Amino acid sequence: MKKVVLLIGLFLALLGFQACGPVIVSHRLADPPPPWFYPNRVETVRYVFFPEFNMYYDLTTRVYIYLDGGVWVRRNVLPTRYRSYNLSRARYERVRNYYDDNIERYHNQNSNRGRSNRSVDRRNN
């Protein structure tokens, strides 16, 4: 009897520890997210943006989206020029509240994040 109670207690403890991990809400829950994406709370996001590489990752279709020769392309693997980088250590931003298939529209509207668009008068310097 003590063994049964101990096993049930151990089972419930393991379930409790499993529930402490990150939770991702996506359109394709059967596929795990890439190893570099571990949010610290429940979020619904479709895209992740890597500002250092000017590249997006679509969590729904599992493709990288980036400009190649002025054209937006979607690939299942990283571009050759970025394969030596460890995305687990790269800075990324979650693209919140955008779920459209056309990331180019979002990128064009938000490409000046953190920069000033004001012209600077340099004649007085």
pLDDT tens per residue, range 13-53:
656 655 544 444 455 545 666 666 665 555 678 999 999 99
E strands in 60-125: 63-68, 71-75, 93-96
Q: Per DSSP, what are the bridge partners of residue 72?
A: 67
Q: Which pLDDT belongs to residue 124?
A: 44
**Higher pLDDT, residue 57 or 115:** 57
- Whether 1 has a pLDDT exceeding 50, the answer reads yes
**How do the domains of the chain map onto residue ranges?**
21-110
For 39, residues 6+ apart whose C-beta sits below 8 A from its C-beta are 22, 23, 24, 45, 94
pLDDT for the residue 35: 66
Structure tokens at 78: 């990283």
* Residues in Cβ contact with 68 at an 8 Å cutoff, skipping those fewer than 6 apart: 79
pLDDT for 8 beyond 50 = yes
User: What is the structure's pLDDT at 113?
Assistant: 54
Does 68 score more than 60 pLDDT?
A: yes
- pLDDT at position 72 is 93
**d(Cα 43, Cα 40) in Å, to the nearest integer?**
9
Q: Which residues contact 67 (CB under 8 A, 6 or more apart)?
A: 54, 73
d(CA 31, CA 19) in angstroms, rounded, equals 18
Q: Quick: pLDDT tens for 88-125.
A: 889 999 898 888 899 999 998 887 654 443 434 444 44
**Spatial separation of the C-alpha atoms in residues 8 and 114, rounded to whole Å:** 53
